[in-house]
Each structure stands twice: as C-alpha cells, then as structure tokens.
Structure 1
Amino acid sequence: MSIPSLKTRERLSEVRYEIRGELARRARELEGQGRSLIKLNIGNPGAFGFRAPEHLQRAIADHIASTDPYTHQQGLPAAREAIAEFHRKRGTPNASPERVFVGNGVSELIDLSLRALLNPGDEVLLPSPDYPLWSAATILNDGRPVYYRCLPENGFLPDPDEIASLVSPRTRAIVLINPNNPTGATYPRELLERIVAIAAKHHLLLMSDEIYDEILYDDARFEPLAPIAGDLPCLSFGGLSKVHRACGWRVGWAVLSGDPLASGDFHHAMDLLGALRLCANVPGQFAIHQALHGEDTIRPLTAPGGRLYETRRALIEACEASENLQLVEPKGALYGFPAVVGDAAVGFDDHAFALEMLEHEDVLIVPGSSFNVPFRNHFRVTLLPEAPVLREVFARIERVLSRRADAASARETAVA
C-alpha cells in the first residue's frame, strides 16, 4: 500500500526565495561534480574572506562562561541598553531598553513583527524590488503584499504619491529598505518625510529595514527613519550581519519608537512571540556594545581604496564599458542591480540567463524578478568578492550577452 504524500501549507506556493532557491541547489550539484563556481548570489561576508572584527570576537570570548542560560526574551539587558543608547544618539524618540527586541538576525524579527501585526487579509506596502523575505513573511503571516514601484529611471526611489494611492482600509504598515537591497539606493530626507506623512494620515506602522545603515559610498548619506517619524509608531531593524560582517552569529535587533501609548499592544504582542521562542542566540549579544560604540571598521572598506569601494568601482566600470548593460550606481549596501539593454535584451529572460551563466560560465547570480519586480531584464550581484574577481565575472557576463546581441542583430537583419 502506498503512503500518501504529506500535504504542506498552501500559501508556501506563493513564496519565492531564489537567493537560496533552485539555482543555488543546482550550484551545489555542480560543485559536487568538481566544478569551481564564483557565487555572487548572497551577501555573506564570511564566504568571501571577511572576518568579524577582532574586538567583537574578544567580547564574546571574554563572556563565554556567561552564555549557557536562557536570557530575557527581548535580549540581554546590557545589549538592549547599548542599542537604545545608539538610537538615542541618532535622535530616535523614546528609545529605551524596554522597547528593544534582540532576535536571531533581522530575519526572525521581520517574521515576529508581522505576526504580531497582521490579521488575515491585512495589507503591507512593500517596495518593488524588495528583499524577498519581506514578501514571504507577509504571505506566511496571512497578509497581502502590495507593492509600490522603485523604478530604475527614478534611481530606484519610490514615488510617495503612488504609495499614498495604494493605501486601503486593510493597509497596516509601510516597509522601507534603506539602504536598499538589491539596488543600493539611499533615501533622502525629503522623501522619508513625505512617507512619514502618509503613515501619519492613515495611522500606519512604519517598518524600516536598516541593516546596511553604515555601508555607504562616496557622498551618500543615511537618514534614519525613526527621528523623522517622531511620535508615530516605527520599528527600526539593525544587526551585526552586514556592517560588522558577522552573519553566522545571527544577531539582529528591532527598536520600537514613537509614543509608547500608541504601540503598547503591539509591544506586548512582540514580547509574547519572543517569549514563545524563549530567547535569541546569547553569545553574539555580548558583541553588541562593542559593535555600536567601539571602533568603526566598515568605513575603511567603503572609502576610496577600500575593498568594497574598489569592487563597486569595478562593477561601475564594467557596466560603463558595456553596450549591453546599464547600471544605477549603488549608493549603499552590498549589491549591484544591472539591467540588460539593447539587442541583448531582445527576448531576454532573467532566470534563463542566470541558469546559462551558471551552467556555462560557472557564475551564480540572482535573477532580478526574484525581488518581486514586474520586469525581467535585471540581475543582482554582491560586491563582496575582490575587484579582480568581479571584473572576471563581468567579462564572462559580457561574453554571454554579446552572443545574445549578435544573434538578435542577425535575426533582425534576416527579417529585413
């Protein structure tokens, strides 16, 4: 007698996460066959030779004897105080340890916060492109993602008028990713002020994913949302994964700001959900104070001559030299989001292109449509490899795109 297959949750069919999806599984198969791949699909500093700063490693080592017990569900008191102090210096209103939640990375806190907020059918305004975890967490917590466009012709910045037009009676929150993943856009203060005004008018929660807050290039500025939001409920997310190159430590935080009376029920819901998972990873929390109040180790990497800066320069130069690529220069974060243009874009499918790059050029990239955009002519690469490696990657990309462009031109000539 055959055993019937286990049924899974139906809404999982709506969830996409190609960053670690089908292409990444195929990459593992190829590596198992002995192929050597350049994997640019994920912003994982440790996989490219980066290490968490030594003073953060020492902070954990010095306290390792204190890491065995569970801690408070919102995190170690000293860690929460360090986060609150950091936000007070930024001007975050009502930043206190009681309103800080430490989680197993920002990913867990995104899920917990949406679970605390949403009833079935509630809507969340998300950027398009977005980091796809935001869409997935909205769907899996029975919400509905509603996308506002961040178009390349506008520097991947949103149009506040469009955001306002998308608000409905079911809208509960506006999500911002600043600096943005996957585009590298940074949001000017005037734009944030207009988005805050929309949230104020409709009594919406502001949720600002600021995990890349200190990864900035050239004259780019980061404007934290909470000081602009003032008394409005605002949840600001940060962590050790990117700025401090400690992804595997799984240490993130969310700071609930604004009028405590307006967000009291939401605070209690977050606390309850945190308690149900007992607590976040304890050892990594001992590094939080040093990370936020110790030596600045990211600026040397993003300044001219720094490793991230020079890899970004290699990306910009490769796209400028290509007739087949167009790039909105990333101002922050760890990614580039080039567009395929011209003859190479005729009949272009980003997923098929990513598969061709993997199978024939040993390069793993992420199709742009994975980030919930309606167009299919973009792809994402990370800026974490050394600059010569990225130049080699784009030489291979150019080889494939040039073949596509030549074939499209030949077809057009034959038809003519």
Structure 2
Amino acid sequence: MPDIKMLAARDARNDLPAKKVLAMPERQWRVRASPSVTRSKNPIRETLASITANAPSTSKAVINLGLGDPTHYPLHAPPAAAMAAVNHALHSGRANGYVNGVGSAEARAAVVAYHERWDKVSYDISDIVLTHGVGQALDLVFSVMIPPASVEKANILLPRPGFAQYSALLANLDAEIRYYDCIEEQNWEVDLDMLNNLCDEDTRAILLTNPSNPVGSNYSREALEAILAIAEKHKVPIIADEIYGHMTWDGPFVPMASLSQSVPIITLSGLSKRFLFPGWRFGWVAVHDPLGVAIELKRGMAVWGNRFMGPNSLIQAALPTILATEAEWFNEVTDKIKTLAGIVYEGINDTPGLSCTAPQGAMYAFVKIASGAFPAFNNDVAFSTALYREEAIFVLPGMCFGAPGYIRVVLATPSDIMGEVMARIQAFSQRHFKE
C-alpha cells in the first residue's frame, strides 16, 4: 500500500510554480581544419598560382620552366620495355589485388638489385619500403622519426636552398627545423661549420639532397665524407634524398650509403625523375644500417607502410623490368639535360644582371639576380611575375626554396625551346637592367 505521507509530499511539490528554464544559446557549426594545414602549404604551388594569375601581355607562346616535370614537353621518350611491362601487368589480371604494406617481395627485390647494380650497396628486402613517390617516402620517414612535440623535443636539419616540400611535410609534426647553408661560391656544397654547430642531442636527422633541387649541384666524394664525419660525431642518421641519383654529367654521382661504415643512411629514390615517370607516383626508402642501430626505425617504417597498403600494384608488378632499364637509355636522357645546362649557363652569364654556376646534376639551374640590377622589381617574385607577363616565361622565384634573389630554371625542354627561352630572358633583362 502506498505511503500516504510520500504521496502528499509529491502532490505538494507538483503545486509549486515551475522553475524557469534558461534558454541555451543556439549551437553553431564548428567544422574546422587543423592549424597545421596553413603551415603545410606548398609555396611552389601557391607561387605558381600567384605569378600566372594574369595572362601574359605578349602573344608569344608560354614556356613553362617552373615545375620539375620532365614529361611536360616531353624531354625524352620513356623506356619502351617499362611501358610494355606495365601493359603486361594490366592485361595479365594478376596485379589487381592488395599487396604487402611495404611492397611485394618481388618489387622490393628489384629495388635491392637496382641499388646493387648502380650504387654498389647491398640491401636485404627487409631494408626496403615502397611508397607513393618520394613525397610519401619523406612523409613516412618524418612521421616515424620525429616524436610529437608534447612527448619529446626534436629538430631536423634541412639544406638552404632546399626543396620546399620538406618544410611543408614537417609542418604538422611540430619539429624544429634548422637550416644549414649551401655555399654558391663552393659549387653549392654544404657549410660544414654551420652543419656541425646546428647538431645537438635533439637532432633526429640531417637531410641531404644530392644531386640538388633547386641548385643542380653534385657533391664530391670529399664533401660527402666530411658530412658523414659530422653525422658520426653527433650520432645522427642521414636522410639522403637521391631522387636525382646518377643524373650527373660533370662528375660521377656518389651514393651516400656507399660511403658509410657506421652512420645509418636512409636513401629515398623513385621513378619520377631518372625514369621520367613523375605521374606514376612510385618511390621507395632503402635503409643502410651498417651497425644495426636503426632496427626500431625499420620496424616503425613497416608499421607506417601498412597505413596505406603499398603503392600501385601494377607498377609493383612491372618494377623488375622497369628497374632493369639499359644504361644507354639513361645516357641519352642525361646527354640532353647536359646540353640544356650548357645553353642556360652560357646564356645566363651573357645576360646583364644575371649569373649562375654551372649545373652539374639533377635538372635545374639556379640563377642569381644581381642586387640593385633591376630597380623596377623589389624582389625575385616581382622579377618572375614580370618575366611571365612580358615574355611568357614561367620560372620559380628563389624564395620558394629559402633563397630570395634567385630564380630556378628547369632543364627539361627540347634544346630549341631553351634557346628561345634564353633569347627572351636576355631581351627582358636588357630592357630593365640598370648599371
């Protein structure tokens, strides 16, 4: 039987005036991007859009020397056997499924054979991780090597001038970026004292680009050995971005891993540049670890590889044939770039207010704009914008690479087009040059 007192108390409460319900503010949408997105912008793409926002004032055909795409004109026909191998993989019906996150055993074995053939460095397939181009290889290596800032302090050493994507990929990791200078008067080799002074107990890696984008240098064996000595002293591994490896003409290319007896070398390479397949987005990481001190890094890379389940399965199936491309084909490509380098070197150094060191490798010339020589333009962006507007020549300003006061010229056109480029740049410079 209900408790009469409790019922009475309940009825009494119900007779009380209702409490006033406070109106809650209307909720607003809060769909936001991380602040790291802004920091991760690629300055090359942004600058490209800025310079080309307005059409040239001339009727001359636009010549694009801004993006390092060797297929734009194109520079050279791709290896026929490589094309056939991809076609065979497609029509075989046996290359349509998922593959191991670090790449198939057959494809990684092909990378091992490639480096043995060209670099004279021995790897095991467990040292190889296949990636969606060198861009993703960089992202993978950075992500595995650099801890969150809330967990541990870390810094990484990057070259200046250097490839803009390095800092863009590091932006969301909150690592401290320290830049070491490359010295133009020394064929753009590294300022060794500066590199040594920048290393400390929080340095996770030294990144080295050889041959270099954007300056077209090819480091000597002695220069590389000096860098290795600094890395050994501070016990810091080297990330060797060698996507332009063996694309040299004034001296042999020396792979960093071929020199190291102790320092772990994390080599990045791929099909974009030397093989002229940038759109295939296929690269790899090769870890040379003579003392076995980078086991944890290799395990981490294997874990990270499974986040994306490896790159394109068709290219993986064709990779043994692609990487077996004959030396003669590579020589033809390199000879063409060498010819273009000569045209640009002579043309630029005959132009008032401009100069450049002789390119030795990769596919770039880095051109210096003499201070005060072009008073109509207050920086390299203004110079590049006016060159596009007046002469329909698109080049990237040096600020994209951490080196204001320069422009980068891509060496990937037919030689007659490059001759036309030099004629237009000289005409432009003569109009605006002031003693």
The TM-score with structure 1 as length reference comes to 0.89
Structure 1 distance, partners of 2:306, 2:426, is 51
Structure 2 distance, partners of 1:70, 1:189, is 41
2:88 is aligned to: 62
Q: Taking structure 1 as reference, are residues 5 and 220 closer, same or farther at Cα in structure 2, changes over 3 Å only?
A: farther
Q: Taking structure 1 as reference, are residues 368 and 83 closer, same or farther at Cα in structure 2, changes over 3 Å only?
A: same
The TM-score with structure 2 as length reference comes to 0.86
Q: Taking structure 1 as reference, are residues 260 and 269 closer, same or farther at Cα in structure 2, changes over 3 Å only?
A: farther
Structure 2 distance, partners of 1:188, 1:333, is 14
Structure 2 distance, partners of 1:160, 1:4, is 52
Pick from 142, 164, 171 the counterpart of residue 174 of structure 2.
142
Structure 2 distance, partners of 1:156, 1:345, is 24
Q: Deviations over 1:7-63 (max 9, x none)?
A: 3332344445332223236537649xx994211111111211244211101111112
Q: Taking structure 1 as reference, are residues 36 and 24 closer, same or farther at Cα in structure 2, changes over 3 Å only?
A: farther
1:327 is aligned to: 356
1:377 is aligned to: 405
Pick from 319, 323, 337 the counterpart of residue 366 of structure 2.
337
1:239 aligns with 2:265: no
Structure 1 distance, partners of 2:164, 2:190, is 17
Structure 1 distance, partners of 2:69, 2:77, is 11
1:264 aligns with 2:264: no
Pick from 354, 360, 369 the counterpart of residue 384 of structure 2.
354
Alpha-carbon contact 2:108-2:129 (below 8 Å) kept:
yes
Structure 2 distance, partners of 1:123, 1:300, is 41
Pick from 53, 76, 86 the counterpart of residue 79 of structure 2.
53
Structure 2 distance, partners of 1:403, 1:159, is 36
Q: Taking structure 1 as reference, are residues 26 and 129 closer, same or farther at Cα in structure 2, changes over 3 Å only?
A: closer
In structure 2, stretches of 5+ residues that fail to align are 1-25
Compute the displacement of 1:198 (Å). Answer: 1.5
1:314 aligns with 2:339: no
Structure 2 distance, partners of 1:302, 1:74, is 31
Structure 2 distance, partners of 1:74, 1:359, is 46
1:412 is aligned to: none
Compute the displacement of 1:157 (Å). Answer: 0.6
2:202 is aligned to: 170
In structure 1, stretches of 5+ residues that fail to align are 410-416
Structure 1 distance, partners of 2:37, 2:173, is 11
Q: Deviations over 1:232-285 (max 9, x none)?
A: 221111111111111111111110111473111111111111101122111122
Identity level (%): 26
Structure whose CA Rg is larger: 2
Give the superposed CA RMSD.
2.4
Q: Deviations over 1:141-176 (max 9, x none)?
A: 221211110021121111222211111222110011
2:315 alignment partner, SS class: helix
Q: Taking structure 1 as reference, are residues 13 and 325 closer, same or farther at Cα in structure 2, changes over 3 Å only?
A: same
Compute the displacement of 1:70 (Å). Answer: 0.9
Compute the displacement of 1:323 (Å). Answer: 2.3
Bigger helix fraction? 1
Counterpart of 2:165, as a letter, is L
2:5 is aligned to: none
Count matched residues: 399
Structure 1 distance, partners of 2:292, 2:191, is 31
Q: Taking structure 1 as reference, are residues 5 and 339 closer, same or farther at Cα in structure 2, changes over 3 Å only?
A: farther
Q: Taking structure 1 as reference, are residues 58 and 350 closer, same or farther at Cα in structure 2, changes over 3 Å only?
A: same
1:299 alignment partner, SS class: helix
Counterpart of 1:38, as a letter, is I
1:414 is aligned to: none
Compute the displacement of 1:385 (Å). Answer: 1.0
Alpha-carbon contact 2:238-2:265 (below 8 Å) kept:
yes
1:401 is aligned to: 429
1:253 aligns with 2:278: no
1:151 aligns with 2:176: no
Q: Deviations over 1:298-317 (max 9, x none)?
A: 211323xxx32222221012
